[in-house]
Structure 1
Amino acid sequence: MSYEKNQEPSSLEANAYSYDQPTAGSRQSGESYDSSYSDGYEKEGSAFSRFIDSFKPLDLEDDGIDTSNMTAMEKSIIASARHPLARRLKSRHLQMIAIGGSIGTGLFIGSGYSLNNGGPGGLLIGYLLVGYAMLCVIYGLGELSVQFPVSGSFNAYFTRFVDSSWGFTLGLLYACSWLVSFPSELIACSMTIQYWNTSVNPAVWVAVFYVVIVSINFFGVKGYGEAEFVLSMIKVLAVIGFLIVGVCIICGVGTGGYIGGRYWHDPGAFNHGFKGVCSVFIGAAFSFGGIELVALAAAETRNPRKSLPRATKQVFWRVTIFYILTAIIIGFLVPFDDERLLDGSTSEDITASPFVIAIQNGGINVLPHIMNAVILVAVISVGNSSVYGCSRTLASLAVQGLIPSIFGYIDRAGRPMVAIMFTNLIGLLGFLVASENQDTVFTWFFSICSLSSFFTWIAICFTHLRWRWALAAQGRSLDEVAFISPLGKFGSYSGILILSLIVVGEIWVSIWPIGYPADVVQFWENCLSLPLLIAMIIAHKTYHRTWNHLMVKLEDIDLDTGRRDIDVEVLKQEIADEKELFKQKPIYYKVYRFFC
């Protein structure tokens, strides 16, 4: 499906163009359809009637697209491009989602468990490796999302650029990871509250925060965006404040006197050697999880060509400041043999947070309460993101025909309402907080998606490479690519290598846990997602009888459907003009734009 200036587009390309073509009165090419499909119901009637009408199914007019002669793959591509999610996220929403969207219990509490396993050196190495891999992932994903801001983002790309079995399996595992995270975060909320009040049944607090999170998501993507903007701002300011306070405590402010590098010498920089470093990776994955949400929101962004590149580049600062610097400060402030860190294995006990332990050791009495409030905000934020991430992924899978179509139901406000309600239903598992067996239940739930984050990230890097290979195979160049990954193909290659080695290390540590002989139960708890991934791919390909081709041919990959920039030649000229203008800027501006 190569593109030439005077060549007639294929039927699929023509359909893509007819769908994306701006109508009279629409904005410029990068912002066509900004008003979204979902605004029509707001024009008349009382506020109550508009609210009720918003839940009705979206009435799409016939777009004149004939799908009778299309393959299943072509129908999937068209469907994900046409999916009418509301485009209401602004640049400021994406900025804060990118900077602080997934900062939660993984960083505030789980980092303590990682510190206990690997020591300060192991914690730093683990965060550095996973952090670099995340930059590779998000840069490659950003390049794809700016070019194709379609429903489901990377999940749709798996189907489009690799194979439908990849899209089905990895999309379902990704949705499951958010699905399990929602009730878990509700339990974490109730445990965090108990830092102040232990007299109230924790199930009461689960009910309170369940209502809060569900209500936010009933306001659609705009409600999610506004909530994340505020919550992420609080988290970002809290982490920056902790870093400043942490430096002061290290230098001698507080009751502990000058600390310096004391804990790097006694008890030491590493715990449990290389195996301890490998054990940090799973905690790091938990901390970095959700970093890809900024790309998942691409289809609901007003102008992805302008806002997504900047949001993508913000991830560099998020990785550097909020993970790497935090790991360094924590390593200086808390010895890895502190017994309070051992409680961090539950990722719910606030007293196990190295942030709180560091402040308590410094003799600052008020800040632990403030830190606890920040952790509560972070947990609510991740719970909110869990509903958003799961519902959008399920809706994308449905519109691609990979799961029952009912999950693709979109109401007039642009909300995937059935997917949201299903996610909310599973969230009721949070009431297991009243059960004595909650730890066992959630351990096996999480085992289903234990390594799925790594598989998703590896697949994103591979999909980015497939996109680049397809461009070359069809005689097209990067001149038409609106945003180019600063790390290019090298980033995706190195990302795949590092993440694959991390998975091997995790399997090793799971089979032979630290301080214990080989343990089959421990392996299944940590690595159940690996055989599940293989089984799901085999089952899907067998059911649909697609063993005759393992991947979509590079020459057959559709490189046009879903783009909001219609005319490729006009886009090339715009990009060339922008590059020429950029060359004339001073060096400090170029450095700033590289990172921001």
Structure 2
Amino acid sequence: MGESSEASYGATDAQDPIKDTGTESVIESRNALHRGLSSRQVSMIAIAGTIGTGLFLGTGRSLAAGGPASMLICYSIVGFIVYITLLLLGEMATQYPIAGSFTAYSSRFVGSSYSFALGWNYWFNDAVSVASDLTAAQLVLQFWTTSHTWAISLAFWVFLVGVNSIHVRSYGELEYWLSILKVATIVVFIIIGILVNVGVNTDHHYIGGHYFRDAPFIGGFGGFARVFVTASFAYGGTESLAITAGETKNPTKNIPRVVKFVFWRILIFYIISILLIGLNVPHDYPNLSTRSATTSPFTIVFKEVGSTTAASFMNTVILTSVLSAGNHAMFAGTRVLYGLSVSNPPQAPAIFSKTTSYGVPVFALLATSSISILCFGSSFIGSGQLWGWLQNIVGVSNQIAWLSIGLASWRFRKAWLRQGRSLQDLKFHVSWTRIWGPPFVMISVTVLILVQGWSSFHPTFSAIDFVSLYIEIAVMVFMFAVWAFIVRPLTGRKATQKHKLQRIFDLVELETADLDSDQHHDGEADKLDNERHEQNQRIWWRRLFFFIA
């Protein structure tokens, strides 16, 4: 067995503070998380991680850069890629519901060097996402005032640190109610968007497909390709399924439920919303996406109804979505850093594994939140410009995460088969992705990463855009080299792989990869949860409530 396959992220069954009695016991270890997230909270967390600033604000940048047709096509393509990625991730997360994100699966089935690079890259992604969301709050506030917008970032930062330092349930409950508000608002937006398009607008005229016919594509191939990175930023967060797995009750049943139902709701919300934005908002709308300002297309559509109050309401909801997205990113970054610190061998300082009596990794939380100071750079370079750069960095980092999930899934399935097991024995397996699923994710995401920076080369070279679009690749290579050629030799751990290529890239031996550790075994609490779910399914109004909630 390769050395990296021994990694164990977060609370295993032995550490799990939620006992089979179904009650929460006093934690003895200072390095354990709580399984305190319910199925309804996990479902809403998955929604909250995607329906946020990327949809409410990022679509404005996409529309201005590529036009309505480019936006609809690119978001649909990325949405399908992410859906397949989520299925592959759900398969591994159901089998091994451990904390610390999908980096645990990369460590077990790919290699410790790659896992180290991916883990730190993804932590930085989440930390920068918090800064991005705090910067977005300033952009949203500019709808009402342009003075002292930095104050909203500071207020949000204090609030987010406070919520995440209490208990995982407080995080989950906040996300749940904010997500309900966002979903309800999007439903209202869809209705209003249809009305605006057919003539219920300030000009009292039928819009139809005028903007699609007038300028479907903007900026040529470069404009089209650039939309991919903003779409990737918008869909980022779906991979949080693996991050919450270590703190999810009854993961054997709840994780597949989330995978099967949540993403389709998200995809429907995205595609319908994007279609309506393209139909109702021109790509050259004033201040849609500039160096100093970014206006939400959702606010524009509400404004087209002719009600300033409606536009202000929509902008307020967008502000709460910014808060939700920042809350999610801060939680995810904290858990990723915690996971790195408790891996075997450790890939982050041990201090980040220390938790409070409520299971909160407080030092990891402080480290993650400290990166948010980047948002205050907007005072020097403009909120719109800074948010665009941060959006590029986070979008590419999301793509690297999806590619890594495909790679880990491909090697996980190969290891499972090489060790004489059947894929049908997995707790959750989508058979129609068996042959093409992982290769499709790896190849398609690689193509996206390479082509989306076309506009930074053509018609003129933009050094800043190039750096924001490709710096994550350099960071991954650098961190891989740090672990493989500096950290690992210093720890005295020698490469044990048989083949030269495997030793160079620090690849896990698939024949001896650990397929048994960290599997969740259902206890009494899980059985009680299943019984309650079955009882609820027998009553029609409870079944309807569960589907909606």
Normalised by the length of structure 1, the TM-score is 0.78
Distance in 2 between residues matched to 1:248 and 1:355, nearest whole Å: 14
Please name the residue that 1:196 is paired with. 144
Distance apart, 1:369 and its partner CA? 0.6
Identify the residue that residue 408 of structure 2 maps to in structure 1.
463
Is 1:40 equivalent to 2:26 in the alignment? yes
Which amino acid counterpart does residue 475 of structure 2 have in structure 1? L
* Residues 424-445 of structure 1: per-residue CA shift (max 9 Å, x gap): 3333444445555777777776
Instruction: Kindly tell me the number of residue pairs found equivalent between the two proteins.
Output: 508
Q: How many angstroms apart in 2 are the aligned matches of 1:342 and 1:438?
A: 11
Deviation at 1:145, TM superposition (A): 0.6
Q: What is the match of residue 272 of structure 2?
A: 325
Q: Which consecutive residues of structure 1, in runs of 5 or more, have no partner in the other structure?
A: 2-11, 28-32, 42-57, 61-82, 575-580, 582-592
Deviation at 1:326, TM superposition (A): 1.1
Which digits, 9 at most, give the CA deviation of each residue in 1:288-311, with x for residues without a partner? 111211221000011111111111
Whole-Å Cα distance in 2 between the matches of residues 167 and 311 of structure 1?
A: 25
Residue 307 (structure 1) aligns with: 254
- 2:314 counterpart letter in structure 1: M
Amino acid at match of 2:351: I
Name the aligned partner's letter for residue 165 of structure 1.
Answer: S
TM-superposed CA distance for 1:98, in Å, is: 2.1
Report deviation, 1:161: 0.8
- Residue 531 of structure 2 corresponds to which residue in structure 1? none
1:59 to 14, 29, 36: 29
State percent identity of aligned pairs: 34
List per-residue Cα deviations over 1:470-518 (Å, max 9, x = no partner): 1100001123311113652322222222211111212333322xxx323
- Judge which range, 221-230 or 484-493, deviates more: 484-493
Contact 1:146–1:308 (CA<8 Å) still a contact in 2? yes
Instruction: Return the alpha-carbon distance in structure 2 between the equivalents of residues 21 and 184 of structure 1.
Output: 37
* Aligned pairs for 1:75-474 within 5 A: 84-198=32-146, 201-256=148-203, 257-266=205-214, 268-343=215-290, 349=294, 352-400=295-343, 401-435=346-380, 451-474=396-419
- Rounded Cα–Cα distance in structure 2 between residues aligned with 1:458 and 1:174: 12
- Give 3-state SS (helix, strand or coil) of 1:534's partner: helix
Q: Matches of 1:387 and 1:360 in 2, distance apart?
A: 32
* Bigger-Rg structure (1/2): 1
- Distance, in Å, in 2 between the alignment partners of 1:134 and 1:454 is 9
Residue 559 of structure 1 is aligned with which of 515, 522, 528? 515
2:348 alignment partner AA:
I
Measured in 1, the distance between the counterparts of 2:378 and 2:470 equals 25
C-alpha displacement of 1:386: 1.6
Q: Supply the AA of the counterpart residue of 2:98.
A: V
- Please tell me whether the aligned partners of residues 152 and 397 of structure 1 are also in contact (alpha carbons under 8 angstroms): yes
- Partner-residue secondary structure (3-state), 2:275: helix
Task: Show structure 2 runs of 5+ residues with no match.
Answer: 490-494, 496-502, 528-533, 535-545
Distance 1:238 1:441, change over 3 A: closer
Amino acid at match of 1:564: H
**Which whole-Å CA distance do the structure 2 matches of 1:193 and 1:124 have between them?**
27
1:187 offset after TM fit, Å?
Answer: 3.0
Paired with 1:439 and 1:250, the residues of 2 have a C-alpha distance of 28
* Equivalence map 1:439-518=2 (5 Å): 451-485=396-430, 487-489=432-434, 490-512=436-458, 516-518=459-461
Structure 1 residues 445 and 259: CA distance shift in structure 2, 3 A: closer
Partner Cα distance (1:361, 1:529) in 2: 39
The range that moved more, 465-474 or 499-508, is 499-508
**Alpha-carbon distance in 2 for matches of 1:335, 1:422:** 41
1:584 aligned partner: none
- Alignment partners' CA distance in 2, 1:308 and 1:456: 19
Closer/same/farther in 2, CA of residues 22 and 478 from structure 1, 3 Å limit: farther
2-structure distance, mates of 1:190, 1:123: 25
Q: Structure 2 CA distance, aligned partners of 1:449 and 1:264?
A: 29
CA distance in 2, matches of 1:442, 1:359: 23
Question: Are the aligned partners of 1:139 and 1:487 in contact in 2 as well (CA < 8 Å)?
Answer: no
Question: 1: distance between equivalents of 2:277 and 2:390?
Answer: 30
Query: How many angstroms apart in 2 are the aligned matches of 1:566 and 1:104?
Result: 34
CA-to-aligned-CA distance 1:95-130 (integer Å, 9 cap, x gap) = 111233332221111111111221111001100110
**Where do residues 554-593 of structure 1 align in structure 2 (5 Å cutoff)?**
554-565=510-521
Task: State how far apart, in whole Å, the 2-side matches of 1:172 and 1:487 are.
Answer: 33
The one-character-per-residue Cα deviations of 1:154-208 (angstroms, maximum 9, x if unpaired) are 0111111100111111111111011112233223224423422445x22332232
Deviation at 1:422, TM superposition (A): 1.5
Q: Deviations over 1:19-71 (max 9, x none)?
A: 74799x953xxxxx8545xx416xxxxxxxxxxxxxxxx537xxxxxxxxxxx
**Secondary structure of 1:107's partner?**
helix
Change in 2 beyond 3 A, CA 1:304/1:194: same
Report if aligned partners of 2:89, 2:242 keep a CA contact under 8 Å in 1. Answer: yes
TM-score by length of structure 2 reads: 0.85
Distance 1:340 1:429 in 2: 23
Is contact 1:34-1:302 (8 Å) kept? Answer: no
- In the alignment, the residues of structure 2 paired with residue 398 and residue 131 of structure 1 have an alpha-carbon distance, to the nearest angstrom, of 32
Task: Report runs of 4+ in structure 1 exceeding 3 Å deviation.
Answer: 19-23, 33-36, 428-450, 545-550
